[in-house]
Chain A
Protein backbone atom coordinates (compact mmCIF):
# COMPACT_ATOMS: atom_id res chain seq x y z
CA UNK A 1 0.00 0.00 0.00
CA UNK A 2 1.28 3.44 -0.84
CA UNK A 3 0.87 6.24 1.69
CA UNK A 4 0.82 10.00 1.18
CA UNK A 5 -1.16 13.16 1.75
CA UNK A 6 -4.69 12.37 3.02
CA UNK A 7 -3.96 8.66 3.00
CA UNK A 8 -2.24 7.58 6.20
CA UNK A 9 -2.54 4.58 8.52
CA UNK A 10 -5.48 5.13 10.87
CA UNK A 11 -3.44 5.70 14.10
CA UNK A 12 -1.40 8.41 12.35
CA UNK A 13 -4.52 9.93 10.78
CA UNK A 14 -5.98 10.35 14.28
CA UNK A 15 -2.85 12.15 15.44
CA UNK A 16 -2.98 14.45 12.40
CA UNK A 17 -6.59 15.33 13.26
CA UNK A 18 -5.64 16.06 16.87
CA UNK A 19 -2.87 18.40 15.76
CA UNK A 20 -5.20 20.16 13.32
CA UNK A 21 -7.01 21.73 16.30
CA UNK A 22 -3.85 23.03 17.97
CA UNK A 23 -4.02 26.71 18.88
CA UNK A 24 -0.35 27.68 19.13
CA UNK A 25 3.19 26.39 19.52
CA UNK A 26 2.82 26.08 23.29
CA UNK A 27 -0.08 23.70 22.81
CA UNK A 28 1.71 21.85 20.02
CA UNK A 29 4.75 21.22 22.24
CA UNK A 30 2.49 20.28 25.10
CA UNK A 31 0.82 17.65 22.93
CA UNK A 32 4.19 16.28 21.87
CA UNK A 33 5.21 16.25 25.51
CA UNK A 34 2.11 14.21 26.34
CA UNK A 35 2.61 11.82 23.42
CA UNK A 36 5.92 10.82 25.02
CA UNK A 37 4.00 8.71 27.52
CA UNK A 38 2.46 6.71 24.65
CA UNK A 39 5.85 5.67 23.30
CA UNK A 40 6.58 1.94 23.00
CA UNK A 41 9.72 2.24 25.11
CA UNK A 42 13.23 0.94 24.71
CA UNK A 43 14.47 0.54 28.26
CA UNK A 44 17.48 2.70 29.05
CA UNK A 45 19.49 -0.38 29.98
CA UNK A 46 19.58 -1.26 26.26
CA UNK A 47 20.91 2.13 25.18
CA UNK A 48 24.25 1.77 23.44
CA UNK A 49 26.16 3.30 20.53
CA UNK A 50 24.37 0.97 18.08
CA UNK A 51 20.93 2.13 19.18
CA UNK A 52 21.77 5.82 19.31
CA UNK A 53 20.25 8.18 16.76
CA UNK A 54 22.81 10.78 15.76
CA UNK A 55 21.82 14.31 14.92
CA UNK A 56 19.63 14.76 17.98
CA UNK A 57 20.98 17.15 20.61
CA UNK A 58 19.48 14.95 23.28
CA UNK A 59 20.02 11.24 23.78
CA UNK A 60 17.69 9.28 21.52
CA UNK A 61 17.77 5.53 20.91
CA UNK A 62 15.72 3.17 18.77
CA UNK A 63 15.61 -0.54 17.96
CA UNK A 64 13.68 -1.93 14.97
CA UNK A 65 12.52 -5.53 14.61
CA UNK A 66 9.72 -7.73 13.24
CA UNK A 67 7.06 -9.02 15.57
CA UNK A 68 5.62 -12.54 15.45
CA UNK A 69 3.20 -11.62 12.69
CA UNK A 70 6.11 -10.39 10.57
CA UNK A 71 5.13 -6.75 10.80
CA UNK A 72 7.40 -3.87 11.72
CA UNK A 73 7.98 -2.69 15.29
CA UNK A 74 10.13 0.22 16.39
CA UNK A 75 10.77 0.83 20.07
CA UNK A 76 12.59 3.86 21.30
CA UNK A 77 13.18 6.36 24.04
CA UNK A 78 14.87 9.69 24.62
CA UNK A 79 15.82 11.84 27.56
CA UNK A 80 13.89 14.80 26.12
CA UNK A 81 10.13 14.30 26.18
CA UNK A 82 9.49 16.17 22.93
CA UNK A 83 11.86 13.83 21.12
CA UNK A 84 10.16 10.83 22.70
CA UNK A 85 6.79 12.29 21.69
CA UNK A 86 8.00 12.47 18.10
CA UNK A 87 9.07 8.84 18.38
CA UNK A 88 5.63 7.88 19.64
CA UNK A 89 4.04 9.52 16.60
CA UNK A 90 6.52 7.79 14.29
CA UNK A 91 5.49 4.50 15.91
CA UNK A 92 1.83 5.27 15.20
CA UNK A 93 2.83 5.88 11.59
CA UNK A 94 4.78 2.71 10.91
CA UNK A 95 4.40 0.08 13.62
CA UNK A 96 2.29 -2.83 12.48
CA UNK A 97 2.97 -2.26 8.77
CA UNK A 98 4.82 -4.71 6.55
CA UNK A 99 8.51 -3.69 6.62
CA UNK A 100 8.53 -3.07 2.85
CA UNK A 101 5.85 -0.38 3.32
CA UNK A 102 7.83 1.21 6.16
CA UNK A 103 10.92 1.33 3.93
CA UNK A 104 9.04 3.61 1.52
CA UNK A 105 6.93 5.50 4.06
CA UNK A 106 6.95 9.24 3.20
CA UNK A 107 8.25 11.54 5.93
CA UNK A 108 5.94 14.27 4.60
CA UNK A 109 3.39 13.36 7.29
CA UNK A 110 5.27 15.75 9.60
CA UNK A 111 4.07 18.67 7.47
CA UNK A 112 0.48 17.69 8.12
CA UNK A 113 1.21 17.73 11.83
CA UNK A 114 2.51 21.30 11.50
CA UNK A 115 5.68 20.12 13.20
CA UNK A 116 8.45 21.04 10.85
CA UNK A 117 7.65 24.73 11.19
CA UNK A 118 7.76 24.72 14.94
CA UNK A 119 10.77 22.52 15.49
CA UNK A 120 14.31 23.86 15.50
CA UNK A 121 16.56 22.75 12.66
CA UNK A 122 18.44 20.56 15.09
CA UNK A 123 15.30 18.84 16.24
CA UNK A 124 13.90 18.57 12.73
CA UNK A 125 17.17 17.15 11.45
CA UNK A 126 17.26 14.81 14.40
CA UNK A 127 13.76 13.63 13.59
CA UNK A 128 14.62 13.20 9.92
CA UNK A 129 17.71 11.23 10.92
CA UNK A 130 15.58 9.06 13.14
CA UNK A 131 12.99 8.44 10.47
CA UNK A 132 15.64 7.77 7.81
CA UNK A 133 17.16 5.21 10.16
CA UNK A 134 13.72 3.61 10.67
CA UNK A 135 13.26 3.28 6.91
CA UNK A 136 16.77 1.87 6.40
CA UNK A 137 16.26 -0.73 9.11
CA UNK A 138 12.86 -1.60 7.65
CA UNK A 139 14.49 -2.10 4.24
CA UNK A 140 16.99 -4.52 5.76
CA UNK A 141 14.22 -6.41 7.57
CA UNK A 142 12.14 -6.56 4.39
CA UNK A 143 15.03 -8.00 2.46
CA UNK A 144 15.60 -10.57 5.19
Chain B
Protein backbone atom coordinates (compact mmCIF):
# COMPACT_ATOMS: atom_id res chain seq x y z
CA UNK B 1 0.00 0.00 0.00
CA UNK B 2 1.34 3.42 -0.85
CA UNK B 3 0.67 6.49 1.25
CA UNK B 4 -2.34 8.52 0.13
CA UNK B 5 -0.59 11.88 0.33
CA UNK B 6 -3.66 13.80 -0.78
CA UNK B 7 -5.67 12.37 2.10
CA UNK B 8 -2.81 12.91 4.54
CA UNK B 9 -2.38 16.53 3.49
CA UNK B 10 -6.11 17.14 3.84
CA UNK B 11 -5.69 16.50 7.58
CA UNK B 12 -3.24 19.41 7.92
CA UNK B 13 -5.04 22.75 7.50
CA UNK B 14 -1.78 24.72 7.62
CA UNK B 15 -0.44 23.01 4.51
CA UNK B 16 -2.97 24.84 2.33
CA UNK B 17 -1.84 28.25 3.57
CA UNK B 18 -0.86 30.94 1.12
CA UNK B 19 1.91 33.12 2.53
CA UNK B 20 1.87 36.96 2.53
CA UNK B 21 4.25 36.74 -0.43
CA UNK B 22 1.39 35.13 -2.38
CA UNK B 23 3.26 31.83 -2.57
CA UNK B 24 1.76 28.60 -1.29
CA UNK B 25 3.57 27.26 1.76
CA UNK B 26 6.04 24.44 1.19
CA UNK B 27 6.95 23.41 4.71
CA UNK B 28 10.42 21.90 4.85
CA UNK B 29 11.32 22.67 8.46
CA UNK B 30 10.06 19.43 9.94
CA UNK B 31 13.23 18.61 11.85
CA UNK B 32 12.51 21.73 13.91
CA UNK B 33 8.85 20.87 14.42
CA UNK B 34 6.22 18.97 12.49
CA UNK B 35 2.79 20.31 11.62
CA UNK B 36 -0.30 19.06 13.47
CA UNK B 37 -3.25 17.24 11.93
CA UNK B 38 -6.71 18.61 12.67
CA UNK B 39 -7.36 15.52 14.85
CA UNK B 40 -4.67 16.72 17.25
CA UNK B 41 -5.90 20.31 17.16
CA UNK B 42 -9.46 19.08 17.81
CA UNK B 43 -8.40 16.86 20.72
CA UNK B 44 -6.79 19.86 22.40
CA UNK B 45 -9.68 22.24 21.73
CA UNK B 46 -12.24 19.57 22.78
CA UNK B 47 -10.37 19.16 26.05
CA UNK B 48 -10.45 22.88 26.74
CA UNK B 49 -14.07 23.20 25.62
CA UNK B 50 -15.44 20.17 27.46
CA UNK B 51 -13.11 18.71 30.09
CA UNK B 52 -10.65 21.33 31.32
CA UNK B 53 -9.81 20.75 34.95
CA UNK B 54 -6.75 20.06 37.02
CA UNK B 55 -5.96 16.38 37.36
CA UNK B 56 -5.58 13.86 40.15
CA UNK B 57 -7.11 15.35 43.30
CA UNK B 58 -10.76 16.22 43.08
CA UNK B 59 -14.03 14.33 43.02
CA UNK B 60 -15.95 16.50 40.60
CA UNK B 61 -16.88 15.24 37.15
CA UNK B 62 -14.54 17.41 35.11
CA UNK B 63 -11.54 16.48 37.25
CA UNK B 64 -12.36 12.82 36.72
CA UNK B 65 -12.68 13.29 32.97
CA UNK B 66 -9.46 15.31 32.74
CA UNK B 67 -7.54 12.78 34.86
CA UNK B 68 -8.83 9.89 32.75
CA UNK B 69 -7.96 11.63 29.49
CA UNK B 70 -4.49 12.57 30.74
CA UNK B 71 -3.62 9.16 32.20
CA UNK B 72 -5.16 7.34 29.24
CA UNK B 73 -2.95 9.55 27.10
CA UNK B 74 0.06 8.26 29.03
CA UNK B 75 -1.06 4.70 28.31
CA UNK B 76 -1.45 5.42 24.57
CA UNK B 77 1.97 7.05 24.38
CA UNK B 78 3.60 4.30 26.47
CA UNK B 79 2.05 1.63 24.23
CA UNK B 80 3.51 3.35 21.18
CA UNK B 81 6.98 3.20 22.72
CA UNK B 82 6.44 -0.32 24.13
CA UNK B 83 7.05 0.69 27.71
CA UNK B 84 5.10 0.42 30.95
CA UNK B 85 3.23 3.72 31.62
CA UNK B 86 4.92 3.97 35.02
CA UNK B 87 8.25 4.22 33.23
CA UNK B 88 7.18 7.21 31.14
CA UNK B 89 7.79 10.54 32.84
CA UNK B 90 6.21 13.54 31.15
CA UNK B 91 8.51 16.50 30.60
CA UNK B 92 8.31 19.66 28.51
CA UNK B 93 10.28 17.93 25.76
CA UNK B 94 13.56 16.25 24.99
CA UNK B 95 15.64 18.97 26.61
CA UNK B 96 13.84 18.74 29.94
CA UNK B 97 13.93 14.95 29.71
CA UNK B 98 17.73 14.96 29.44
CA UNK B 99 17.99 17.52 32.24
CA UNK B 100 15.77 15.26 34.35
CA UNK B 101 18.10 12.32 33.70
CA UNK B 102 21.15 14.45 34.51
CA UNK B 103 19.70 15.75 37.77
CA UNK B 104 17.71 12.78 39.00
CA UNK B 105 20.04 9.98 37.91
CA UNK B 106 23.37 11.64 37.08
CA UNK B 107 23.77 13.49 40.36
CA UNK B 108 22.78 10.45 42.39
CA UNK B 109 24.98 7.96 40.59
CA UNK B 110 27.99 9.64 39.03
CA UNK B 111 31.00 10.47 41.17
CA UNK B 112 34.13 12.54 40.66
CA UNK B 113 36.31 11.11 37.86
CA UNK B 114 33.50 8.99 36.43
CA UNK B 115 33.28 9.34 32.66
CA UNK B 116 30.36 10.37 30.46
CA UNK B 117 30.88 9.56 26.79
CA UNK B 118 29.16 11.94 24.37
CA UNK B 119 29.63 12.51 20.66
CA UNK B 120 30.67 15.44 18.52
CA UNK B 121 27.29 15.45 16.81
CA UNK B 122 25.18 16.04 19.93
CA UNK B 123 22.49 18.70 20.01
CA UNK B 124 23.11 21.28 22.74
CA UNK B 125 20.31 19.67 24.74
CA UNK B 126 22.48 16.57 25.14
CA UNK B 127 25.65 18.51 25.82
CA UNK B 128 24.94 21.38 28.17
CA UNK B 129 23.19 19.39 30.95
CA UNK B 130 26.23 17.10 31.12
CA UNK B 131 28.64 20.04 31.04
CA UNK B 132 26.79 21.46 34.04
CA UNK B 133 26.97 18.12 35.85
CA UNK B 134 30.65 17.77 35.02
CA UNK B 135 31.37 21.21 36.40
CA UNK B 136 29.45 20.51 39.60
CA UNK B 137 30.63 16.96 40.23
CA UNK B 138 34.04 16.70 38.63
CA UNK B 139 32.78 14.14 36.15
CA UNK B 140 34.89 13.79 33.03
CA UNK B 141 33.34 14.30 29.60
CA UNK B 142 34.75 12.46 26.61
CA UNK B 143 33.61 12.77 23.02
CA UNK B 144 33.37 10.29 20.20
CA UNK B 145 34.69 12.16 17.15
CA UNK B 146 33.19 12.10 13.70
CA UNK B 147 34.68 9.76 11.13
CA UNK B 148 37.23 11.26 8.71
CA UNK B 149 34.53 12.02 6.13
CA UNK B 150 32.42 13.85 8.77
CA UNK B 151 29.44 11.65 7.95
CA UNK B 152 29.23 9.25 10.88
CA UNK B 153 30.72 8.43 14.27
CA UNK B 154 34.24 7.06 14.58
CA UNK B 155 33.24 3.75 16.15
CA UNK B 156 36.87 2.68 16.60
CA UNK B 157 37.38 5.72 18.82
CA UNK B 158 34.27 4.79 20.78
CA UNK B 159 35.55 1.25 21.26
CA UNK B 160 38.92 2.52 22.45
CA UNK B 161 37.39 4.33 25.41
CA UNK B 162 34.14 2.54 26.20
CA UNK B 163 35.67 0.37 28.99
CA UNK B 164 36.24 3.43 31.18
CA UNK B 165 32.79 4.94 30.73
CA UNK B 166 29.91 4.98 33.22
CA UNK B 167 27.34 6.70 31.02
CA UNK B 168 26.98 6.95 27.24
CA UNK B 169 24.81 9.78 25.86
CA UNK B 170 24.18 9.70 22.16
CA UNK B 171 21.91 11.31 19.63
CA UNK B 172 19.97 8.55 17.84
CA UNK B 173 19.59 10.48 14.55
CA UNK B 174 21.51 13.69 13.91
CA UNK B 175 19.40 16.81 13.40
CA UNK B 176 22.15 18.24 11.17
CA UNK B 177 23.70 15.34 9.30
CA UNK B 178 20.51 13.33 9.10
CA UNK B 179 22.47 10.17 9.84
CA UNK B 180 21.11 7.44 12.07
CA UNK B 181 23.83 6.30 14.46
CA UNK B 182 24.52 2.59 15.02
CA UNK B 183 22.74 2.66 18.36
CA UNK B 184 22.34 -1.12 18.57
CA UNK B 185 26.13 -1.52 18.45
CA UNK B 186 26.70 1.41 20.81
CA UNK B 187 24.31 -0.08 23.37
CA UNK B 188 25.89 -3.51 23.01
CA UNK B 189 29.37 -2.09 23.62
CA UNK B 190 28.17 0.01 26.55
CA UNK B 191 26.48 -2.97 28.18
CA UNK B 192 29.22 -5.53 27.63
CA UNK B 193 32.35 -3.43 28.03
CA UNK B 194 31.30 -0.18 29.70
CA UNK B 195 32.42 0.59 33.26
CA UNK B 196 35.11 -2.07 33.19
CA UNK B 197 32.68 -4.76 32.07
CA UNK B 198 29.98 -3.94 34.62
CA UNK B 199 27.97 -2.17 31.93
CA UNK B 200 27.49 1.55 31.38
CA UNK B 201 24.15 3.29 31.36
CA UNK B 202 22.92 4.57 27.99
CA UNK B 203 20.83 7.65 27.27
CA UNK B 204 19.54 8.26 23.76
CA UNK B 205 18.36 11.61 22.43
CA UNK B 206 15.57 10.44 20.14
CA UNK B 207 14.05 13.83 19.30
CA UNK B 208 14.63 13.32 15.58
CA UNK B 209 14.14 9.58 15.52
CA UNK B 210 10.52 9.66 16.69
CA UNK B 211 9.48 11.39 13.49
CA UNK B 212 10.00 8.30 11.38
CA UNK B 213 11.11 5.42 13.60
CA UNK B 214 8.75 3.31 15.69
CA UNK B 215 11.05 3.08 18.71
CA UNK B 216 10.49 0.02 20.87
CA UNK B 217 11.92 0.74 24.29
CA UNK B 218 11.49 -2.87 25.39
CA UNK B 219 13.90 -4.13 22.76
CA UNK B 220 16.31 -1.20 22.47
CA UNK B 221 18.26 -1.94 25.63
CA UNK B 222 18.78 1.74 26.48
CA UNK B 223 18.36 2.99 30.03
CA UNK B 224 16.99 6.42 29.19
CA UNK B 225 15.28 7.63 26.04
CA UNK B 226 14.34 11.30 25.62
CA UNK B 227 11.57 12.23 23.18
CA UNK B 228 9.43 15.21 22.12
CA UNK B 229 5.81 15.12 20.97
CA UNK B 230 6.13 17.97 18.50
CA UNK B 231 8.48 16.06 16.23
CA UNK B 232 5.73 13.50 15.60
CA UNK B 233 2.62 15.60 14.89
CA UNK B 234 1.99 16.31 18.58
CA UNK B 235 1.90 19.68 20.31
CA UNK B 236 4.90 21.63 21.56
CA UNK B 237 5.53 21.74 25.28
CA UNK B 238 5.39 18.04 26.05
CA UNK B 239 7.80 15.15 25.77
CA UNK B 240 8.98 12.34 27.97
CA UNK B 241 11.87 10.55 29.55
CA UNK B 242 11.47 6.81 29.13
CA UNK B 243 13.35 4.99 31.88
CA UNK B 244 14.39 1.37 32.34
CA UNK B 245 12.70 -0.11 35.41
CA UNK B 246 15.96 -0.87 37.23
CA UNK B 247 17.14 2.74 36.80
CA UNK B 248 14.03 4.25 38.39
CA UNK B 249 15.11 3.09 41.82
CA UNK B 250 18.48 4.73 41.30
CA UNK B 251 16.87 8.10 40.63
CA UNK B 252 16.28 10.76 43.20
CA UNK B 253 13.56 13.38 42.90
CA UNK B 254 14.41 16.44 40.80
CA UNK B 255 11.79 19.17 40.99
CA UNK B 256 9.74 19.49 44.16
CA UNK B 257 6.17 20.68 44.44
CA UNK B 258 2.59 19.56 44.14
CA UNK B 259 1.57 16.21 42.65
CA UNK B 260 4.95 14.54 43.36
CA UNK B 261 4.43 14.04 47.10
CA UNK B 262 2.54 11.40 49.01
CA UNK B 263 2.44 13.46 52.20
CA UNK B 264 4.08 16.69 53.26
CA UNK B 265 4.84 18.14 56.66
CA UNK B 266 6.43 21.48 57.41
CA UNK B 267 9.93 20.03 57.58
CA UNK B 268 9.81 17.12 55.17
CA UNK B 269 7.86 15.15 52.59
CA UNK B 270 7.26 11.59 51.50
CA UNK B 271 7.30 11.19 47.79
CA UNK B 272 5.06 9.46 45.30
CA UNK B 273 6.18 6.52 43.23
CA UNK B 274 7.13 6.94 39.60
CA UNK B 275 6.03 8.41 37.33
CA UNK B 276 4.36 11.14 39.42
CA UNK B 277 7.39 11.53 41.66
CA UNK B 278 9.17 13.07 38.69
CA UNK B 279 6.30 15.28 37.53
CA UNK B 280 5.99 18.11 40.06
CA UNK B 281 3.28 20.72 39.55
CA UNK B 282 0.24 20.85 37.32
CA UNK B 283 1.20 18.67 34.37
CA UNK B 284 0.94 19.37 30.66
CA UNK B 285 -2.59 18.02 30.51
CA UNK B 286 -3.83 19.32 27.17
CA UNK B 287 -0.46 18.71 25.51
CA UNK B 288 -0.34 15.10 26.70
CA UNK B 289 -3.87 14.56 25.40
CA UNK B 290 -2.83 16.12 22.09
CA UNK B 291 0.25 13.87 21.93
CA UNK B 292 -1.92 10.80 22.43
CA UNK B 293 -4.18 12.03 19.61
CA UNK B 294 -1.10 12.39 17.38
CA UNK B 295 -0.17 8.80 18.13
CA UNK B 296 -3.71 7.65 17.41
CA UNK B 297 -3.48 9.47 14.08
CA UNK B 298 -0.03 8.04 13.25
CA UNK B 299 -1.23 4.55 14.18
CA UNK B 300 -3.21 4.28 10.95
CA UNK B 301 0.07 4.13 9.01
CA UNK B 302 2.88 1.65 8.66
CA UNK B 303 5.84 3.56 10.11
CA UNK B 304 8.26 1.70 7.87
CA UNK B 305 6.36 3.01 4.88
CA UNK B 306 6.43 6.52 6.33
CA UNK B 307 10.14 6.23 6.97
CA UNK B 308 10.75 5.03 3.43
CA UNK B 309 8.75 7.97 2.05
CA UNK B 310 10.57 10.59 4.16
CA UNK B 311 14.03 9.16 3.55
CA UNK B 312 13.26 8.83 -0.14
CA UNK B 313 12.46 12.54 -0.41
CA UNK B 314 15.61 13.45 1.52
CA UNK B 315 17.77 11.14 -0.58
CA UNK B 316 16.35 12.52 -3.84
CA UNK B 317 16.80 16.11 -2.68
CA UNK B 318 20.33 15.55 -1.37
CA UNK B 319 21.31 13.90 -4.61
CA UNK B 320 19.85 16.61 -6.84
CA UNK B 321 20.96 19.71 -4.93
CA UNK B 322 24.40 18.15 -4.56
CA UNK B 323 24.73 18.55 -8.33
CA UNK B 324 24.03 22.29 -8.22
CA UNK B 325 27.07 24.57 -8.58
CA UNK B 326 28.55 25.68 -5.27
CA UNK B 327 26.35 23.46 -3.06
CA UNK B 328 27.85 21.17 -0.44
CA UNK B 329 25.50 18.63 1.15
CA UNK B 330 26.44 17.44 4.64
CA UNK B 331 25.83 14.00 6.09
CA UNK B 332 25.05 10.72 4.44
CA UNK B 333 21.83 10.15 2.56
CA UNK B 334 22.62 6.78 1.08
CA UNK B 335 20.26 3.84 0.90
CA UNK B 336 18.85 2.88 4.29
CA UNK B 337 20.54 5.70 6.15
CA UNK B 338 19.49 8.96 7.64
CA UNK B 339 16.34 10.93 8.25
CA UNK B 340 14.35 13.58 6.44
CA UNK B 341 16.95 16.28 7.16
CA UNK B 342 19.24 17.56 4.42
CA UNK B 343 21.79 20.19 5.48
CA UNK B 344 23.55 22.13 2.79
CA UNK B 345 25.50 25.29 2.14
CA UNK B 346 26.42 27.34 -0.91
CA UNK B 347 30.04 28.38 -1.21
CA UNK B 348 29.34 32.06 -1.93
CA UNK B 349 25.71 32.75 -0.95
CA UNK B 350 25.43 33.19 2.81
CA UNK B 351 23.07 30.72 4.48
CA UNK B 352 20.84 33.51 5.76
CA UNK B 353 20.65 35.21 2.41
CA UNK B 354 19.76 31.93 0.78
CA UNK B 355 17.07 31.26 3.37
CA UNK B 356 15.43 34.60 2.59
CA UNK B 357 15.38 33.83 -1.12
CA UNK B 358 13.94 30.39 -0.39
CA UNK B 359 11.29 31.93 1.86
CA UNK B 360 10.40 34.37 -0.89
CA UNK B 361 9.53 31.31 -2.98
CA UNK B 362 7.34 29.92 -0.18
CA UNK B 363 9.89 27.37 1.05
CA UNK B 364 10.28 27.16 4.83
CA UNK B 365 13.74 25.86 5.66
CA UNK B 366 15.86 26.29 8.78
CA UNK B 367 19.06 28.26 8.86
CA UNK B 368 21.67 28.55 11.57
CA UNK B 369 23.77 26.33 13.80
CA UNK B 370 20.84 24.01 14.59
CA UNK B 371 21.83 23.98 18.29
CA UNK B 372 24.91 21.96 17.37
CA UNK B 373 27.73 24.50 17.41
CA UNK B 374 30.51 21.98 18.15
CA UNK B 375 29.38 19.99 15.12
CA UNK B 376 29.32 23.17 13.01
CA UNK B 377 32.92 23.89 14.06
CA UNK B 378 33.89 20.35 13.12
CA UNK B 379 32.33 20.87 9.69
CA UNK B 380 34.20 24.17 9.42
CA UNK B 381 31.06 26.30 9.08
CA UNK B 382 29.05 28.59 11.35
CA UNK B 383 25.67 27.75 9.88
CA UNK B 384 23.94 25.64 7.26
CA UNK B 385 20.60 25.66 5.51
CA UNK B 386 18.50 22.61 6.27
CA UNK B 387 15.49 21.29 4.39
CA UNK B 388 13.71 18.53 6.28
CA UNK B 389 10.87 16.38 5.03
CA UNK B 390 7.96 14.65 6.70
CA UNK B 391 5.20 12.27 5.76
CA UNK B 392 2.98 14.96 4.18
CA UNK B 393 5.67 16.31 1.84
CA UNK B 394 5.44 15.31 -1.80
CA UNK B 395 7.88 14.60 -4.57
CA UNK B 396 6.45 17.66 -6.36
CA UNK B 397 7.37 19.84 -3.37
CA UNK B 398 10.89 18.41 -3.31
CA UNK B 399 11.27 19.05 -7.04
CA UNK B 400 9.88 22.58 -6.71
CA UNK B 401 12.39 23.22 -3.93
CA UNK B 402 15.28 21.92 -6.02
CA UNK B 403 14.19 24.09 -9.00
CA UNK B 404 13.78 27.20 -6.87
CA UNK B 405 17.19 26.68 -5.27
CA UNK B 406 18.71 26.28 -8.71
CA UNK B 407 17.02 29.48 -9.90
CA UNK B 408 18.29 31.43 -6.87
CA UNK B 409 21.83 30.19 -7.44
CA UNK B 410 21.63 31.16 -11.09
CA UNK B 411 20.45 34.67 -10.15
CA UNK B 412 22.99 35.25 -7.38
CA UNK B 413 25.78 32.73 -7.65
Determine whether the beta carbon of B360 is less than 8 Å from that of A82.
Answer: no
Which residue of the partner chain, among A28, A58, A117, contacts B352 with CB atoms under 8 Å? Answer: A58
- The reply to whether A33 and B412 contact each other, CB–CB distance below 8 Å, is yes
Q: How many whole Å from B369's CB to the nearest CB in chain A? A: 9
Q: Are B350 and A120 in contact (CB under 8 A)?
A: no
The chain A residue sitting closest to B411, CB to CB, is A30
In the assembled complex, which residues on chain A have CB atoms less than 8 Å from the CB atom of B349?
A: 81
Q: Is the CB of B356 within 8 A of A120?
A: yes
A interface residue count range (under 10 / 10 to 19 / 20 to 34 / 35 or more): 10 to 19
Nearest chain-B residue to A59 (Cβ)? B382
B352 touches A25 (CB 8 A): no
Docked complex Cα distance between A135 and B356 (Å)? 27
- Please name all residues of chain A whose beta carbon is closer than 8 Å to the beta carbon of B353 when the two chains form the complex: 29, 33, 80-82
Q: Is the CB of A79 within 8 A of B350?
A: yes
B357 contacts across to A, CB distance below 8 A:
26, 29
B359 close to chain A: CB less than 8 A = yes
- The distance from the CB of B352 to the nearest CB of chain A, in whole angstroms, is 4
A24 near B: Cβ within 8 Å? yes
Task: Determine whether the beta carbon of A29 is less than 8 Å from that of B360.
Answer: yes
Interface string of A112-144 (1 = CB under 8 A from B): 000001111001000000000000000000000
- The yes or no answer to B380 lying at the interface (CB within 8 A) is no
Measured between beta carbons, the chain B residues less than 8 angstroms from A119 are 356
Q: Report whether A118 and B21 are in contact in the complex, using a CB–CB cutoff of 8 Å.
A: yes
Alpha-carbon distance between A118 and B357 when the two chains are bound, in angstroms:
11
Instruction: Indicate whether A103 reaches chain B with its CB closer than 8 angstroms.
Output: no
Contact between A57 and B412, CB atoms less than 8 A apart:
no
Closest to B350 in A: A80
14 more CB-based (< 8 A) A-B contacts, given A28-B360, A118-B20 = A24-B22, A25-B359, A25-B360, A26-B357, A26-B360, A29-B353, A30-B412, A57-B352, A57-B367, A58-B350, A82-B356, A118-B21, A118-B360, A119-B356
Enumerate 9 A-B pairs (CB-CB under 8 Å) in ascending A order. A25-B21, A26-B361, A29-B360, A30-B411, A33-B412, A58-B352, A82-B356, A118-B21, A120-B359
Of the candidates B352, B359, B411, which one forms a contact with A80 in the assembled complex, judged by CB atoms under 8 Å apart? B352
Cross-chain contact A117 with B20 (CB below 8 angstroms): yes
Note all chain A residues with C-beta closer than 8 A to B322: none
Does the CB pair B360–A24 fall under 8 Å?
A: yes
Q: Which residues of A contact B (CB under 8 A)?
A: 24-26, 28-30, 33, 57-58, 79-83, 117-120, 123
Residues of A within 8 A of B360 (CB): 24-26, 28-29, 118
A82 touches B20 (CB 8 A): no
Chain A residues whose C-beta falls within 8 Å of the C-beta of B356 in the assembled complex = 29, 82, 119-120, 123
A24 CA / B169 CA spacing, docked (Å): 47
- Which residues 149-202 of B have a CB within 8 angstroms of A? none
Compute how far the CA of A25 lies from the CA of B359 in the bound complex, rounded to whole angstroms.
9
In the bound complex, residues from chain B placing their C-beta under 8 Å from that of A29 are 353, 356-357, 360
B64 beta carbon closer than 8 Å to chain A = no
Chain A residue contacts of B20, Cβ below 8 A: 117-118
Residues from chain B with a CB closer than 8 A to the CB of A57 are 352, 367-368, 383
B 327-367 binary contact with A (CB < 8 Å = 1; else 0): 00000000000000000000001111100110111000001
- Are A82's CB and B352's CB within 8 A? yes
Q: Closest 4 CB pairs between A and B?
A: A25-B360, A80-B350, A80-B352, A26-B360
CB distance from A108 to the nearest CB of B (A): 20
- Would you give the shortest CB distance from B53 to chain A, in whole angstroms? 36
A25: chain B residues within 8 A (beta carbon): 21, 359-360
In the complex, the chain B residue whose C-beta lies closest to that of A117 is B20
> Are A83 and B352 touching (Cβ within 8 A)?
yes
Chain A residues, CB < 8 A from B367: 57
* A81 to B355 CA separation, bound complex (whole angstroms): 12
Whether B21 contacts A24 by the Cβ 8 Å rule is: yes
Contacts of B383 in A (CB 8 A): 57
Q: In whole angstroms, how far apart are the Cα atoms of A29 and B20 in the complex?
A: 15
Chain A residues with Cβ below 8 Å from B368 are 57
Complex Cα–Cα for A81 and B137 (A): 45
- Report the bound CA distance from A30 to B357 in whole Å: 8
Which residues of A lie under 8 Å from residue B351 when comparing CB positions? 80
Closest residue of A by beta carbon distance from B407: A26
Give the residue name and chain of the A residue nearest to B357 (CB).
Answer: A29
B22 touches A81 (CB 8 A): no
Closest beta carbon of chain B to A139's beta carbon, Å = 30
For the complex, what is the distance from the CA of A57 to the CA of B394, rounded to whole Å? 31
By a CB distance below 8 angstroms, the chain B residues around A24 are 21-22, 360
Most buried by B among A25, A30, A118, A120: A25
- CB-CB under 8 A from A118, the residues of chain B are 20-21, 360
Residues of B within 8 A of A117 (CB): 20
CB distance from A36 to the nearest CB of B (A): 9
